[in-house]
């Protein structure tokens, strides 16, 4: 399989994952108080929403890469 074809497959898989998992979260630390050398931090969960158009766009671009990559020789 050509490297271009792999890129197309990876884009399609990423698009499908983006459509399946519309939101994801990750931990982040925030300093809430700092007095001299002492500091107090809070760990928060940040949430990110992946837009629907991004997942669909990845699938479309991946399909186009597969089609164009398959035609070239």
pTM to 2 decimal places: 0.70
Bigger pLDDT: 1 vs 16: 16
- What per-residue confidence (pLDDT) applies to 24? 87
CA–CA distance, 9 with 14 (Å, rounded to integer): 9
| Domain residue ranges in the chain | 3-71
Please give the helix or strand (H or E) that residue 69 lies within, else none: helix 52-71
Span 16-62, pLDDT tens digits = 999 998 898 999 999 989 998 999 999 999 999 999 999 999 999 99
Q: Is the pLDDT of residue 15 over 90?
A: yes
- What per-residue confidence (pLDDT) applies to 72? 64
Q: Collapsing DSSP states into helix, strand and coil, what is residue 7?
A: helix
């Amino acid at each position: 399989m050509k490297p271009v074809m792999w890129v197309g497959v990876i884009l399609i898989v990423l698009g499908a994952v983006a459509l399946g998992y519309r939101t994801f979260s990750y931990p982040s630390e925030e300093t809430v108080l700092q007095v001299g050398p002492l500091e107090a931090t809070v760990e928060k969960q940040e949430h990110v929403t992946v837009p629907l158009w991004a997942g669909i766009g990845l699938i479309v671009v991946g399909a186009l890469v597969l089609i164009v990559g398959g035609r070239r020789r």
